[in-house]
A and B are shown apart, each in its own frame.
Chain A
Amino acid sequence: MKRWMPGVAGAALVVAAWGLSAVTPSETAAEEPFVVSANIGDRASGRNISVTFTDLRAAEAVTNDGWHADGSWLLVDLEVEALRSEEGTLLSFATLDVGGRSYRASERPPESLFGSQLAIDLPHSGSLAFELPATAFEASRAQSVLRLGLESDPRLDSLIELRFDLADLEVETEAELDPIVWVGR
């Protein structure tokens, strides 16, 4: 064996170990959600949920079934249905990540799709409402990610994801949540 070989072999092993640690997935990678990217107007389907985002609206006040609230609101209009099973099939996960913060859909409107029971292959239409700080609509920090899923713990299940820019939305004085109705096919 050449005298320089142990040194080269040792260095090669160190590089290999570094490479291995660099490509090893994190501990949480094994339980990440399965993200399905969506676009406005297109149907995006996961394991047991299918979503069609139909519109995004920003408003300084929202109304819903006689209820009214001022503030900075994002309304997400969508159609949503289950695909395989109705057991425990609620739209329980709805978050908006914007400006490094994560907001959950508001439970304040009396009739929003948040937490609603889904039916198999029979879509409902309606709205989700997110109550945000006024700064959320500033252009510099308005890159947003909306994620919808069935479990409040979204790990190891499908998440429908929509990426958009809050600054692209025109802020209306007042907007109304869409009523929850069946959508005919």
Chain B
Amino acid sequence: MTGGKRRGWWRRNAWPLAACAVLLPAVFGIIGWAEWDDYFSGHESRPITAQPNASIDYAGASWGPAEIVELPPPEGYAPPAGSRILEVTVAVDPADDDPIGCLPPTLHEMGGAERQWDERTYELGEGYEPGEWNSCAGSGTEPFAIVVPFVVPDDAVGPFALHIVVAERVPEYLRLPLGP
């Protein structure tokens, strides 16, 4: 094959080649995007973020403000060495007449290692005076407060945020920044 014939083939097929150059990446891009979109729409991936010390609407209720305090160890509970107990209180006002359902909130470290803690109401034992609610389950339609304690290592200094998930609103979830 000569150089002239080779150039002729490229020139004859310029349009199909250009179409391939556009369509092949587009096909992989669209398939990849659809797969990731499918994944993220089934997970908590879109935060509804409140301003610090403010309330915000989410899932037909008003949430916040949220407060975080450090608790002394309750009687009868020996905390692990190098840890402290943080308690978060969130005011909730179900604006609709329908009760809301949410799981117990989780505490998240913003920045750093981005660790996340589960609440420990039951582990703190009988010496701990729990709030009336540690989730929304069964809380009814009147305003109430969620109170949840966490046991975190001393090197977790924040800033923290509380995450609340109402299952039917996933992938949206509520992020309440805490403290300074």
Identify the stretch in B32-40, B87-95, B108-116, B167-175 within 8 Å (CB) of chain A at 4 or more residues.
B108-116
Residues 124-183 of A contacting B (Cβ, < 8 Å): 182-183
Neighbouring A residues of B114 by C-beta, 8 Å: 84
Q: How far is the CB of B79 from chain A (nearest CB, A)?
A: 8
- The residues of B that contact A117 with a CB separation of less than 8 Å are 118, 123
Q: Is the CB of B81 within 8 A of A84?
A: no
Judged by a CB distance under 8 angstroms, whether B80 is at the interface is: yes
| B88 CB, nearest partner CB in chain A, Å | 15
| Nearest CB in chain B to that of A89: its residue | B118
Indicate if the CB atoms of A185 and B82 lie closer than 8 Å. Answer: yes
Complex partner residue of B116 from A86, A121, A182, A184, CB under 8 angstroms: A86
Q: Is the CB of A87 within 8 A of B116?
A: yes
Q: In the bound complex, do residue B82 and residue A184 qualify as a contact, i.e. CB atoms below 8 Å apart?
A: yes
Q: Which residues of A contact B123 (CB under 8 A)?
A: 117
Q: Does A96 contact B (CB under 8 A)?
A: no
Q: Are B118 and A121 in contact (CB under 8 A)?
A: no
Residues of B within 8 A of A122 (CB): 80, 82-83, 151, 153
Q: Are A120 and B117 in contact (CB under 8 A)?
A: yes
Q: Is the CB of B106 within 8 A of A87?
A: yes
Asked if residues A184 and B80 are in contact (CB atoms below 8 Å), the reply is: yes
Give the residue name and chain of the A residue nearest to B81 (CB): A184
Interchain Cβ contacts under 8 Å between A and B, 24 examples: A83-B115, A84-B113, A84-B116, A85-B115, A85-B116, A86-B106, A86-B117, A86-B118, A89-B118, A117-B118, A120-B117, A120-B156, A121-B153, A121-B155, A121-B156, A122-B80, A122-B82, A182-B78, A182-B79, A183-B80, A183-B81, A184-B80, A184-B81, A184-B82
Residues of A within 8 A of B (CB): 83-87, 89, 117, 119-122, 182-185
Question: Which 9 residue pairs spanning A and B have beta carbons closest together?
Answer: A184-B81, A182-B80, A86-B118, A121-B153, A122-B80, A85-B116, A185-B82, A120-B115, A86-B117
